[in-house]
Chains A and B, each alone.
Chain A
Amino acid sequence: DAGVTQSPTHLIKTRGQQVTLRCSPKSGHDTVSWYQQALGQGPQFIFQYYEEEERQRGNFPDRFSGHQFPNYSSELNVNALLLGDSALYLCASSLVGENYGYTFGSGTRLTVV
């Protein structure tokens, strides 16, 4: 049973560029949440998607946007990258109605130079 798959595992971008991160949820899960984990910090909630819509958003600017596809996979897009966007981006999937059964992926390490 595949868990949560994130791609790519690492990438380096230049300030001002745009980036897209991808997440495939665990089989049977229909909800995807994204978290940003800066170095030395705990993960911070970015937003959550269910039924292809954003359910809730954390304290992140509009440069951060997302999408969920009919197969429940999700993308996180970040525009106009800043140095401060360098972080590990974690995807967590769950099944609606079982809100505490989060499964996390290994993350995408984004470095902005």
Chain B
Amino acid sequence: AQSVTQPDIHITVSEGASLELRCNYSYGATPYLFWYVQSPGQGLQLLLKYFSGDTLVQGIKGFEAEFKRSQSSFNLRKPSVHWSDAAEYFCAVVSGGATNKLIFGTGTLLAVQP
């Protein structure tokens, strides 16, 4: 069965520092992968998605992610974090089938220190 693992429950970085959030997936075929961000009390906002092609994907708010098939990973990165990036981040994979439902990881909560 498809699954997504986000090994880091909570990460704290200083403002201006670089960020990498880890995501590992389990999927038999070529996965369709997503990163979403959730601010407190809000729904999910799509940061970026990977379907095929270039393995380095650019998203909104200065985020990027790299798909590495050999490592079954899709890590999210940002070169310089802003205080407004503090939120919870979810990696997800599309399950396939009729509905293409999203399967989410458990999330990584990002705190940003001034």
- B90 interface hit (Cβ, 8 Å): yes
Segment from A11-19, A38-46, A61-69 that makes contact with B: A38-46
Chain B residues within 8 Å of chain A by Cβ, number: 26
B106: contacting residue among A42, A56, A90, CB under 8 A: A42
Q: Which residue of chain A is the closest to B4 with respect to CB atoms?
A: A42
In the complex, which residues of chain B have a beta carbon less than 8 angstroms from the beta carbon of A92? Answer: 44, 102
- Which A1-34 residues sit within 8 Å CB-CB of chain B? 4, 33
In the complex, which residues of chain B have a beta carbon less than 8 angstroms from the beta carbon of A99? Answer: 94, 99-100
B43: contacting residue among A42, A45, A90, A100, CB under 8 A: A90
- Which B20-37 residues sit within 8 Å CB-CB of chain A? 32, 34, 36
Asked if residues B43 and A33 are in contact (CB atoms below 8 Å), the reply is no
Asked if residues A106 and B42 are in contact (CB atoms below 8 Å), the reply is yes
Q: A4-B43, A90-B43, A106-B43 are in contact. Are A42 and B100 (CB under 8 A)?
A: no
B105: contacting residue among A4, A42, A48, CB under 8 A: A42
Bitwise interface map of B from 32 to 56 toward A, beta carbon under 8 Å scored 1, else 0: 1010100001111110010100000
